[in-house]
């Protein structure tokens, strides 16, 4: 993720596809819906991912915020668990 939490640009017509994982890494793809656009949610997710030592990307789409993170199973689980606990003041997560 870059400082704004955005995914690196993919060539036209292609989705960002991460390389295969090592044996000790896991990858989780999330789609977070609710009030998550225009309220500081993507920078919040970026900060949480950094705190947990995770790699990945986040981008807005028609369903909300799409997130892909990868790292140790413990770090990914901790990241996922914390998302709804420390939301920016105007954000509301439905799913």
Residues noted as catalytic = 42, 60
d(CA 70, CA 86): 21
Cβ(50)–Cβ(3) below 8 Å: no
What's the per-residue H, E or C state across 32-70?
A: ECEECCCCCHHHHHHHHHHHCCCEEEEEEECCEEEEEEE
């Amino acid at each position: 993720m870059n400082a704004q939490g955005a995914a690196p640009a993919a060539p036209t017509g292609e989705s960002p596809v991460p390389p295969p994982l090592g044996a000790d890494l896991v990858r989780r793809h999330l789609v977070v819906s609710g009030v998550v656009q225009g309220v500081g949610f993507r920078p919040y997710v970026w900060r949480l991912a950094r705190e947990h030592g995770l790699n990945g990307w986040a981008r807005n789409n028609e369903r909300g915020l799409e997130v892909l993170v990868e790292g140790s199973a413990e770090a990914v689980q901790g990241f996922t668990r914390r998302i709804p606990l420390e939301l920016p003041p105007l954000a509301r997560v439905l799913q």
